Chains A and B, each alone.
Chain A
Amino acid sequence: MTGAKDRMRQKKMKNQPRNVTYSSTGRNVERGQGSLASGWVRGHQTGGQGYSRDLPKYITASHFANARAAEVNGMLKAVSKPAGSCHVFNALPKHMRRRAMSHNTKRLPSRLREGAHKLMERSQQTEKDKKQLPKRRSRKARRRHGNLLLEFNRRQKKNKWLETHIWHAKRFHMLKRWSYCLPHKPTAKTYRSSYRAMNTHALLQDLSYFCCLELQGSEEQILSALCRLTSKDTGPTFGAGLFLSGSRQGSVHLYRADEYPHGSLGPADFLWRPRAPHTSHRQLWIWIHPVLKAEVVSELQLVCQCFEVLSTSEEICSVEGTLVGQKRKRDNEVDCSNTPSKKLLGDCTRAAGTPVCWGSADTAITISDLTMEIVRYRLIGPLAHMVLTDTLQPANEDKETVKPSDFWWPNHSKDQTNMKLHQQQTDTFQLLRGVCSTGEVPAGCVLGLTVDDPRLSLPQRRIKTIPGLQPCADECRVRDLTLRGVAAHCSESALWDASVRHSVTHNQMSQQELNRMRSEALVPGSRLVAPPQGCVPVLLVHQPGRVRGEERRHWGSGWDLLLPKGWGMAFWIPLVYRGVRVGGLHMSVKHSQFKGQPHFPHGYPDCPAGTLFQSEQEAELIEKFKRRPPSKRTNYIKHGCLAPFCCPWQQLTEEWEELVKLNEGTSSICRTGPPEFTLLRSLRVLRQLSVWCCPSRSRPVTHPPLTPEVAAALQEEWGRSLLWVRLRLMSKGQPALHAMVCIPTVSDLQLLLKDRRISGPLEPLHKDHVKNMINSKHKASHASKGSSSAPHMNPSKALPVGLIRGVWPQPLPSVLSHCSRLTLGWVVEGDFSLAAGCGEALAYISVSGLLRLLLQQPQEQRGVVLLRNPSSLQYRYAQIIVDI
């Protein structure tokens, strides 16, 4: 791995001077000295300009001498200090090295013996010093519970752990992303079995790393503030009546305030708390990806005018402080009276003292940051509801206890209205058993519930939930549930209440206590008696599967389970014991790919998070590419692939716009808008394009047919934007990342008409001019060495720094017309789709390009494009599908 190499190098260079710099003290010296005046930098200048060619007219002697002196000093320093831990014999050429030189100094040449002797003594000394250091504690001591927790707390300072971290770390490859430690892929081979789980049973994921922001205030004010962040063009917003009642979860795409269609931020899910009677005070949860958090919070503060900090996370930092203090004292004090439950509290993603709650006097809206306060598990698959109904047992009402209790549930259940609601929620929950597939429930339903501790009814061994063959008795009510969804008032849950959450988290029964109860149970394996503190408020949120498009509807639908923090593992193990598969980040990417949706932040090139992800991905891919020897790499220049690592979206949109303008000829309208490209998310336009992209059948013509005038109007509005499309390969082929989407020529289409299973045309091999340039450079340098007469053969052809063999150097030529077919866009996610049974890709293409393509193609072959992988010359036919 490169990490180890880097570390080695850093160790070696530790004592070396960084670079030989000399900063000129005379600031007002005339600039004639060129680069000399600005100081010295070791090595070649990056940026390709090399040394300035025009010599300075005169040199100030003192500055010049100072600069040289600095250089000489640096060199002397570098020479005098040994590099890292290098032994003396490392200085010897290889043919003079002998076996066991480090043990026997006499094997060294005599001039080096003295130094080697010193080194040897020093190393022996350090061994003695090491012995004086406090001994590492024994494994037993280290593994003691309290010490282990301290160690865990230390290890998650930089990257926060989820509650299921240890469970995952034993089974998954973990990734450090977005200041969390997240599971990526299981260590076992589970790709296909996970897909099967999604398709026929249930797949479980821990999504607790998603951030929850809570808004409180009056409904009108929140709505008027939030409507600046969204647009009605892209679908339902925060104010849609369906979501406002609190019975459904909605999702929106957020933009910066009043900047639509520019300034895209990212997707968010939101959930309103059902209206309480006699008050207009509302509560709203917005769930966002952790990358987005900083930006969204600042935007929310802006639109809500909430800048006053109401509370900070200082309580948490005090807890941490005590932990750290105790650790320092460890050497002297043996006892550790730290309570283990402290482990779960606090959020290391925030520095101590970070504000978590903002308010304002004008608008009376408060924003609070509930990151890591609520655990979120996602179950994907048609049997997700069966797993839930098996795992969760609705709490019983507590009739015996008369006196007020410390725990929330006995007090809560005293109230007659609460009890009635609980009864209705329980009934609805039992009805779910009669539903055959998760997809039948209306999208985004929310059901609040209070359940018993699921550990009480843990099966003795892992079982697999299977649906019963007998249809449910209450056929009529099940039908009502699938038709209307959960009633609005049943979506209420005590989970919305911060005090209840706090009480539930802190009064959890420990695993030890539970095990004791289990051992005392008269019948082994029977259900244990529910203690009063074991009642947990939860929210079940239905996740719609595939809602867009015509194929595989409701595929990948599921339920989200929201829990108060601290209860993560108590629910995780019982869920896993019901035979679900567990997936990581990799599976969520695949899930959204099979669902035909872009995954955040992979497929959002217009968002800041998406751009960041792309640049990271580019660095990673280049690193991987460079690891191979040049002769074993793909030569992307020869394959005619300009951008194998990172797609230049901006250049693509600009070039398409220019081309369209050229075709129009005279009417060159100057666009005044900001130059950044946007993504087309307007439902109205998407609907039109979706119909136009289908190869025409006998469709009722309700849409305006595609004419040059209509296209020109669209082009005017959306010319500089990208469009998200799905591509389905018509015959063979497996699209890869950053595959090119190209426009087929007329002859290509005719070939396809003749034979539908034809594989596709070939791209002629390109010439690698960069390789010739490198070769000529090499030859030139060799020649100059031999003759030592011409030190600079052709300085004009100096290679730009950072050039990689096989990849186009940075100022790219026209990406549009580089190959024999015009490029429309690139694939961002492509693979063989297990759900569709053929290669499928998700790509972004230019809207101008698509309009031109559609205008040129005949009716029956609308939307046929060519797809070519970066490392291949073979084009494949694919069909564009725009899902709405």
Chain B
Amino acid sequence: MAEPRSPVSAAVSHIPISMPTPEGSTLEMDPMEYTLRKRLPRKLPKRRNDVYVNMKTDFKAQLARCQKLLDAHREICIHGLGLAINRAINIALQLQTSSQGALELSANTSTVELIDDLDPEDPDEAGEPLTRTRNNSAIHIKVFYPSS
């Protein structure tokens, strides 16, 4: 449960791909020739009080987990990536309201680089493995008891 699962489902689909070539122009490829495989986002070192929110686990369970962590720690960090940003915010706000104002939030956003692999349809064709990177937004919310 604790592992940060990918909130974006890594789907395999045929898509038209535009690759920036070294010359700078974009090269249009035949959509049927490549399959896109999304890699998982990079795992980051994880402390005990880090919570990576995903879209697969039940919302209530994740909320309860955060609540439990708050009993042991002064502050926890909730991370959400892509689609899970909404949920991360939701969890943080729920925590705050249920604590009757004892908790404070501080949110940071960042950009995470994700990697896609392109598998050629004709497997013996490509010499170099084709990969491309794209960016996705992430949010990191620190939920903490203010030091009085």
Contacts and interface: CB of A to CB of B under 8 A. Distances in A.
Interface of A: 200, 232, 235-237, 239-242, 245, 248, 382, 436-437, 439-440, 442, 467-471, 479, 482-485, 550, 553-554, 700, 702, 884
B129 interface: yes
B65 interface: no
13 contacts: A240-B123, A240-B124, A241-B127, A241-B128, A245-B127, A248-B129, A436-B42, A442-B117, A467-B45, A484-B129, A550-B9, A553-B38, A553-B39
A236 B124 contact: yes
A553 B3 CA distance: 13
Contacts of A439: 40
Nearest to B16: A702
A731 to B, nearest CB: 16
Contacts, number: 70
A241 B43 contact: no
SS class of chain B's interface: helix, strand, loop or mixed? loop
A245 B126 CA distance: 12
Interface in B59-112: none
Contacts of A482: 42, 115
Given A241-B126, A242-B129, 8 more contacts: A200-B3, A239-B124, A240-B126, A436-B45, A439-B40, A479-B113, A483-B133, A550-B12
B83 to A, nearest CB: 15
Interface in B1-50: 3, 6, 9-14, 31, 38-40, 42-45, 47
Contacts of B10: 550, 553
A884 B40 contact: no
B45 A232 contact: no
Nearest to A248: B129
A242 B43 contact: no
The bracket for how many chain B residues form the interface is 20 to 34
Contact of B43 (A237, A248, A440): A440
Contact of A550 (B3, B11, B45): B11
A242 B86 CA distance: 40
A702 B31 contact: yes
Interface of B: 3, 6, 9-14, 31, 38-40, 42-45, 47, 113, 115, 117, 122-129, 131, 133
Given A436-B44, A442-B129, A469-B47, A483 B12 contact: no
A485 B31 CA distance: 25
Nearest to A554: B40
Contact of B124 (A237, A248, A469, A553): A237
Contacts of A471: 44-45
A468 B45 CA distance: 7
B12 A484 contact: no
A873 B124 CA distance: 48
Contacts of B47: 469
A237 B124 CA distance: 7
Nearest to B32: A702
Contact of B123 (A236, A440, A469): A236
B128 to A, nearest CB: 8
A242 B126 CA distance: 7
A440 B45 CA distance: 14
B127 A440 contact: no
Nearest to A483: B131
A375 B80 CA distance: 43
A884 B12 contact: yes
B12 A382 contact: no
Contacts of A702: 13-14, 31
B122 A382 contact: no
A235 B125 CA distance: 11
Contacts of B9: 550
B45 A470 contact: yes
Contacts of A469: 45, 47
Contacts of B39: 440, 553-554
A241 B123 CA distance: 9
Contacts of A554: 39-40
B33 to A, nearest CB: 13
Shortest 3 CB-CB distances between A and B: which pairs?
A241-B127, A236-B123, A436-B43
B13 A700 contact: yes
A476 B113 CA distance: 12
A245 B13 CA distance: 28
Contacts of A235: 123
Given A232-B123, A436-B42, A485 B14 contact: no
Contact of A232 (B3, B113, B122, B127): B122
B127 A242 contact: yes
Nearest to A467: B45
A82 to B, nearest CB: 69
Contacts of A437: 43
Contacts of A240: 123-124, 126
A237 B123 contact: yes
Contacts of B38: 553
A470 B125 CA distance: 40
Contacts of A553: 6, 10, 38-40
Nearest to B38: A553
A474 to B, nearest CB: 15
B123 A483 contact: no
B43 A382 contact: yes
Contacts of B12: 550, 884
Nearest to B14: A702
Nearest to A243: B124
A485 B38 CA distance: 16
B146 to A, nearest CB: 25
B23 to A, nearest CB: 20
A688 to B, nearest CB: 12
A236 B133 CA distance: 24
Contacts of A232: 122-124
Given A437-B43, A470-B45, A553-B10, A484 B131 contact: yes
B19 to A, nearest CB: 14
A242 B122 CA distance: 12
Nearest to A223: B124
Most chain A beta-carbon contacts within 10 A, residue among B11, B43, B44, B123: B123
A442 B38 CA distance: 12
Contacts of B122: 232
A445 to B, nearest CB: 10
Nearest to A468: B45
Contacts of A200: 3
Contact of B129 (A382, A467, A485): A485
A467 B44 CA distance: 10
Contacts of B31: 702
B131 A241 contact: no
A467 B43 CA distance: 12
A700 B15 CA distance: 10
A235 B127 CA distance: 15
A330 to B, nearest CB: 59
Given A550-B9, A550-B10, A241 B115 contact: no
A273 B14 CA distance: 33
A467 B128 CA distance: 31
B51 to A, nearest CB: 16
A702 B31 CA distance: 10
A467 B45 CA distance: 8
Contacts of B133: 483
A442 B128 CA distance: 12
B116 to A, nearest CB: 11
A439 B39 CA distance: 9
A469 B50 CA distance: 12
Contacts of A382: 43
A232 B124 CA distance: 8
A248 B131 CA distance: 15
Contacts of B13: 700, 702
B124 A483 contact: no
A700 B14 CA distance: 9
Nearest to A442: B129
Contact of A440 (B3, B42, B125, B129): B42
Report which residue of A235, A240, A700 has the largest number of chain B beta carbons within 10 angstroms of its beta carbon. Answer: A240
Nearest to A236: B123
A160 to B, nearest CB: 36
